[in-house]
């Protein structure tokens, strides 16, 4: 009989025996602090796409696998979430929000769904009754297309706001209405000159109607008092609680016209010092002040896994709804206009090259096809001037792309930071503004993904809801809010649920250089996860919008439970 040991070399036997001894003597892994078990785990990790359970120690994921594989990590003090077949996904990353303005909007007058001028006025009147005399009334997010397209005027609301300056923006943030009180505070009247990169809408006698667009909005905004620290802290608290309800664990804050980017950054730093952050924040500051950010990074670094800096945001143009998007050809409904850029190309190019040379990430707003093409051209100049590196140039919105420019995103390595909800909102009226042909590559999610471009998804909150499930529904179905496109508006641009999930997770992490710490569920990643009441990949697409977030976990801690 041949001995078992004689069939193997002595060296191989020694290696095997040592391995066995090490395995047999190794201590059992310590118990997890949190375990989610019995879930449908969509990991986003191509090496293990699906699992049943996840173990967390402190703020990191330590194991992913089957229920049986994770069970030994459950100890007496382990918090166990029995998912009962619910869907667990990486924490949603909203790559474009106006975070503090969104928090402020929660507590302000709500005008988004006002359907008539009368309802618009009545809501303002009702809100004004609770405002202190002299207190500014802001927010609003009105949509004049709800009542046929007539722009509101100050004479609609002067009589119901006699004691308060009022400044309420359209939902896209690119034009706003001031009452006469606010115009007086700002010194805006018939003699006020026009503003480059903006517009003051005037009546037949040359007097301002109250509507100001883009750069002209600064005339009123400069007259508004800065919010107090107490107000700012309350805005942040409201914003974090709201996004947690919808599974958002990280936001990329693009500041706004309500709260300055630097004021926002200081607000976030105060909250982090107190240990109050429950949302991770990538705080982006203005392009025009890139040197200030470079100096701040020299003094304070780029932050940590709760609060990070390093990006600057600039604007090429305005928006389609305000007719301030820069287009290659005139608007269909106003043939005498094709929008405009908000600054000269020379100035924009100079600022971007300077910011990039300082190692900052460019996050530039471009909506119209001309603005998009011009920005892609400037990005070529940036690379030529400063040399190749992993810079991850971003284009915010990238909404109305000329077909010839779609391949350039992947070729140039430009990240398209896009917002799916806009497609089902703007799709109600966009063809009237730009025509059916140009609409074919509006919100061109699929064309960009098919071309191998990075597409990171977000909301543009407060402009649209910061609700990724609604965004996934929009990207997958493209059913407009008015119900008139049951098969989808521009249906050839629909994407799959998993493509949309990647846009809200791993692509969002890539867009801020954080794919090694977030965006997937695997060992070593931050324990940011969302539990949803149904498997979005296995239900009819038109029911996705009915799904609910059950729990939101940030850093291994449940910050929201339904």
Q: Are residues 111 and 79 in the same domain?
A: no
Q: Is residue 322 part of a domain?
A: no
Query: What pLDDT is attached to residue 228?
Result: 85
Residue matched to tokens 């071309």: 451
116 located within any domain = yes
63 within domain boundaries: yes
Judged against a pLDDT cut of 70, whether residue 316 lies above it is answered with: yes
Given a cut of 60, whether residue 39 has pLDDT beyond it is yes
Q: Is the pLDDT of residue 151 over 70?
A: yes
Domain match, 141 and 76 both: no
Token representation of residue 352 = 């971007």
Handedness of CA 22, 27, 30, 31 (dihedral sign): positive
* Residue 119 and residue 143 in one domain: yes
Q: How many domains does the chain have?
A: 2
Q: In angstroms, rounded to a whole number, what is the distance separating the alpha carbons of residues 369 and 326?
A: 7
User: Any idea which of 60-64, 258-262, 361-365 has the lowest mean pLDDT?
Assistant: 258-262
- The rounded percent of the chain whose pLDDT value lies above 90 is 86
For the CA atoms of 340, 343, 345, 350, the dihedral, rounded to the nearest 10 degrees, stands at -160
What gap in Å lies between CA 311 and CA 285, rounded to an integer?
7
Helix (H) or strand (E) holding 450: helix 445-450
Shared domain for 74 and 106, answered yes or no, is no
Identify the bridge partners of residue 65 per DSSP, sorted by sequence position. Answer: 53
Name the pLDDT band for 1 (thresholds 50, 70, 90): very low
Band of pLDDT at residue 15, cut at 50, 70 and 90: very low
* 28 — pLDDT class (breaks 50, 70, 90): low
Confidence of residue 22 (pLDDT cuts 50, 70, 90): very low
Question: What is the pLDDT, as a whole number, of residue 140?
Answer: 85
Residue 174 shares a structural domain with residue 81: no
Distance from C-alpha of 259 to C-alpha of 241, rounded to nearest angstrom = 19
Weakest mean pLDDT among 69-83, 218-232, 511-525? 218-232
Regarding predicted confidence, which is higher, 123 or 21? 123
Predicted confidence at residue 172, as pLDDT, reads: 82
Of 221, 244, 270, the residue that ends a domain is 221
Instruction: Compute the average pLDDT of residues 75-101.
Output: 97
Give yes or no for residue 25 having a pLDDT over 70: no
Q: How far apart are CA 444 and CA 420, in angstroms?
A: 10
Question: Of 221, 249, 282, which closes a domain?
Answer: 221
Domain, as residue range, for 210: 101-221
Residues 73 and 143 in one domain: no
The answer to whether residue 307 sits within a structural domain is no
Q: Which of 107-121, 239-253, 385-399, 410-424 has the lowest mean pLDDT?
A: 107-121
Residue 531 lies in a domain: yes
Give residue 107's pLDDT band: very low, low, confident or very high (50, 70, 90). Answer: confident
Q: Are 141 and 98 in contact (CB under 8 A)?
A: no
pLDDT of residue 225: 87
Ramachandran region, residue 280 (left: φ > 0; alpha: ψ -120 to 50; beta: rest): beta
Compare 57 and 16 and report the one with higher pLDDT. Answer: 57
- Supply the mean pLDDT for the chain: 93
Same-domain pairing of 131 and 63: no
Q: Are residues 34 and 118 both part of a single domain?
A: no
Contact 327, 400 (CB under 8 A): yes
Percent of the chain at pLDDT above 70? 95
pLDDT by residue (tens digit) across 466-480? 999 999 999 999 999
- Decide the pairing of beta strands 280-283 and 394-397: unpaired
**Does 135 map to a domain?**
yes
User: What is this structure's pTM?
Assistant: 0.85
What CATH number does the domain containing 58 carry? 2.30.40.10
Residue where a domain stops, chosen among 164, 198, 221: 221
Q: Flag whether 158 is in a domain.
A: yes
Torsion 480-481-482-487 (CA) sign:
positive
At how many degrees (to 10) do helices 345-357 and 369-386 cross?
40
pLDDT of residue 257: 66
Beta-sheet strands, E only, within 304-414 = 307-308, 311-315, 361-366, 394-397
Question: Where residue 546 falls among pLDDT bands split at 50, 70, 90?
Answer: very high
- Tens-digit pLDDT profile for residues 236-278: 999 999 999 999 999 999 987 667 889 999 999 999 999 999 9
Note whether 138 and 167 are within 8 A (CB). Answer: yes
- 462 touches 254 (CB < 8 A): no
d(CA 55, CA 522): 10
Asked if residue 182 and residue 135 are part of one domain, the reply reads yes
Q: Specify the pLDDT at position 141.
A: 85
Among 255, 256, 314, smallest CA distance to 281 is for 255
| Residue 19 in this model has a pLDDT that exceeds 70 | no
Task: Give me the pLDDT at residue 18, please.
Answer: 34
Q: What pLDDT is attached to residue 231?
A: 85
Does 181 lie in the same domain as 81?
Answer: no
CATH code assigned at 127: 3.10.310.70
Q: Tokens at residue 139, please?
A: 């927010």
Query: Do both 146 and 172 map to the same domain?
Result: yes
Q: Do residue 122 and residue 208 come from a single domain?
A: yes
Residue 540 is assigned to a structural domain of this protein: yes
């Amino acid at each position: 009989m041949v001995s078992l040991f004689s069939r193997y070399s002595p060296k191989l036997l020694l290696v095997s025996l040592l391995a066995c001894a090490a395995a047999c003597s190794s201590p059992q892994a310590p118990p997890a602090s949190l375990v989610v078990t019995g879930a449908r785990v969509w990991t986003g990790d191509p090496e293990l796409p699906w699992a049943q359970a996840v173990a967390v120690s402190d703020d990191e994921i330590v194991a992913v696998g089957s229920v049986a594989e994770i069970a030994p990590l459950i100890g007496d003090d382990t918090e166990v979430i029995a998912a009962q077949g619910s869907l667990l996904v990486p924490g949603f990353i909203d790559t474009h929000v106006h975070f503090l303005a969104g928090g402020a909007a929660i507590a302000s007058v709500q005008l988004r769904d006002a359907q008539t001028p009368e309802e618009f006025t009545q809501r303002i009147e009702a809100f004004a009754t609770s405002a202190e005399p002299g207190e500014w009334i802001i927010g609003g997010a009105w949509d004049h297309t709800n009542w046929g397209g007539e722009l509101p005027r100050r004479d609609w609301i002067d009589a119901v706001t006699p004691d308060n300056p009022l400044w309420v923006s359209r939902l896209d943030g690119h034009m706003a209405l001031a009452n006469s009180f606010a115009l007086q505070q700002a010194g805006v009247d018939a003699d006020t000159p026009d503003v480059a990169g903006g517009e003051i809408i005037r009546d037949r006698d040359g007097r301002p109607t109250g509507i100001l667009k883009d750069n002209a909005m600064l005339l009123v905004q400069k007259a508004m008092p800065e919010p107090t620290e107490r107000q700012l802290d309350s805005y942040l608290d409201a914003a974090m609680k709201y996004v947690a309800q919808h599974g958002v664990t990280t936001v990329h804050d693009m500041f706004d016209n309500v709260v300055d980017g630097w004021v926002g950054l200081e607000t976030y730093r105060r909250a982090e010092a107190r240990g109050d952050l429950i949302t991770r924040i990538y705080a982006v500051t203005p392009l025009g002040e890139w040197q200030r950010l470079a100096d701040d990074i020299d003094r304070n670094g780029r932050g940590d896994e709760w609060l990070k800096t390093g990006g600057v945001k600039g604007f090429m143009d305005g928006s389609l709804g305000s007719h301030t998007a820069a287009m290659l050809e005139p608007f269909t409904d106003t043939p005498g206009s094709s929008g405009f850029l908000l600054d000269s190309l020379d100035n924009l190019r100079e600022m971007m090259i300077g910011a990039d040379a300082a190692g900052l990430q460019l996050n530039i707003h471009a909506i119209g096809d001309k603005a998009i093409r011009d920005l892609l051209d400037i990005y070529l100049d940036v690379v030529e001037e400063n040399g190749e590196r992993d810079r991850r140039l971003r284009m915010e919105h990238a909404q109305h792309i000329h077909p010839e420019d779609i391949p350039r995103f992947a070729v140039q390595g430009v990240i398209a930071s896009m917002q799916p909800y806009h497609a089902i909102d703007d799709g109600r009226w966009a063809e009237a503004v730009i025509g059916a042909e140009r609409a074919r590559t509006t919100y061109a999610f699929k064309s960009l993904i098919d071309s191998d471009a990075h597409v990171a998804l977000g909301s543009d909150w407060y402009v649209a809801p910061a609700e990724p499930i609604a965004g996934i529904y929009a990207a997958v179905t493209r059913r407009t809010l008015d119900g008139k496109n049951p098969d989808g508006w521009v249906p050839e641009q629909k994407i799959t649920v998993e493509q949309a999930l990647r846009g809200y997770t791993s692509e969002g992490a890539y867009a801020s250089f954080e794919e090694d710490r977030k965006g997937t569920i695997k060992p070593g990643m931050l324990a940011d996860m969302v539990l949803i009441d149904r498997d979005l990949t296995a239900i009819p697409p038109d029911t996705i919008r009915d799904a609910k977030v059950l729990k939101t976990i940030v850093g291994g801690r449940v910050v929201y439970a339904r």
